[in-house]
Amino acid sequence: MSYLIGIGLLIVGLLVSIALHEVGHMWPAKKFGVKVPQYFVGFGPTLWSTKRGETEYGIKAIPLGGYVRLAGMYPPAEALAKVPADRRSLASAARAEALADLEPGEEHRAFYRLSTPKKIIVMLAGPVMNLIIAFVLLAGILMGWGLPVASTTLADVPACATESEPCDSPGAAYAAGLRPGDTITGFAGKPIRTWEDLPRAVAENDLKPTEITFVSDGVEHTAPITPQLRSVTRVDGEVVERPVITVIAGQERKPAAFGEVVAMTSKGVTETFKVIGALPMRLYDVARSLVTDEPREDGVMSIIGVGRLAGEVAATPSEGAATGTSAGPGWTDKIMSLLSLIASLNIALFAFNLIPLLPLDGGHIAGALYEGARRRIARAFGRPDPGPVDTARMLPLTYTVFILLIGMTLLLGYADIVKPITL
């Protein structure tokens, strides 16, 4: 049941994200006077719809996207500087369909009539909405719930300083009387306020006998302790000899600062763009793993794979499940993990939609930028206005990109079923 709850929460979060993405397009479009005949979440058969004013709002059966229909996306032939010769082409049919939503006298409400800055705002607002969603979720998680940090309250105090059996040397802290749940407050006369203070104080003391202060069951104790020299593996993998007292830190949560949220969001965007830049090679690796015995590396996955991860997060045994105690904190952690996953999806939607290819938002933005640059150049050289860019002529490329996106979705979906990435 927990597994299904995790998948359900992810689907709801994804649908809300898609809905708000389309609101991001629709709201400025309406503000700029563009006629918006339809606003739908999902594709395929319509499950529900209602009309409010001139816009039909609804939900479709396949929750893999959404769309806002903007009237007049493509300029008519008479608005172009160079009139297309073939009026029966795919582009001509698209132009006619785009203008079909405009009643007589509403020609000024066509999207193609917007200025370049307004076109960019309309098309950029959708992806930016996803970025805002991601930032708000991360801010709530990091600033409200907090980041996990090591605590001076001990998770474990090993009875043995080594893993050898039988134990030939008791752990220094265990021999001094410390037990799991105790909180270290001082070492060698130095106050211990954070976990980072402890290894620093132990290193400065070296192997000399000293005293350790700790709180156990609300009572403060001071006991003699002698650090021991042990091999320690550093973060970079190098093994060094260091004085230790053999304790394992607990974990607590520390609210992050606003700047940390900005930095983490920026890092997420940067890493996502790197993944997109390497997408062809990553897809090749996925395809190769399907036809060979090579393990599939962590990387890109479909919504099926993301849903599987959400289910696994929710199905992970909660704290206290084995002892019958309250599992509340465990479920709070799970919800925060699911919200983090939804935030990551929104960052992915933001970055992926900025790829400068139609039918993605980045393709429309690129077309608007080209149109604006062309007009500026014409104005600088005293030439007549070249008019709007004929984006309808890009429909063959648009359909090609659309087919490639479907192929990518099918490949990743199949891989997530037969060779999934798991926690």
Pair 46, 361: CB distance under 8 Å: no
DSSP 22-76: HHHHHHHHHHTT----EEEEEEEEEEEEEEETTEEEEEEEEEEEEEEE-TT-S--
Q: Is the dihedral of CA 277, 120, 29, 132 positive or negative?
A: positive
Question: By C-alpha distance, which of 372, 400, 399 is closest to 386?
Answer: 372
- Which residues fall within 8 angstroms of residue 371, CB to CB, at 6 or more apart? 116, 119, 388, 389
Exposure b/e, 333-347, CB count within 10 A at least 16 = b:
bbbbbbbbbbbbbbb
CA angle, 255 as apex, 251 and 261 as ends, to 5°?
Answer: 120
Task: Tally Cβ neighbours within 10 Å of residue 16.
Answer: 14
| Residues of the chain by 3-state class (helix, strand, coil), percent to 5 | 50, 20, 30
Give the integer Cα–Cα distance in Å for 106 and 83: 22
Q: How far apart are the first and last CA of the chain?
A: 18
Selecting among 22, 103, 107, 238, the annotated active-site residue is: 22
Q: Residue 245: how many CB atoms within 10 A of its CB? A: 27
User: What's the rounded Cα separation, in Å, for the pair 349 and 268?
Assistant: 12
Q: Which residue has the tokens 């206290």?
A: 320
Q: What is the distance between the alpha carbons of residues 193 and 214, in angstroms, rounded to a whole number? A: 11
d(CA 372, CA 123): 15
Place of tokens 């105790």: 182
Q: Is 382 left (phi over 0), alpha (psi -120 to 50) or beta?
A: left
Separation CA 210–CA 225 (nearest Å)? 6
- Dihedrals phi, psi of 242, to nearest 5 degrees: -140, 150
For residue 252, indicate whether it is catalytic. no
Catalytic residues: 22
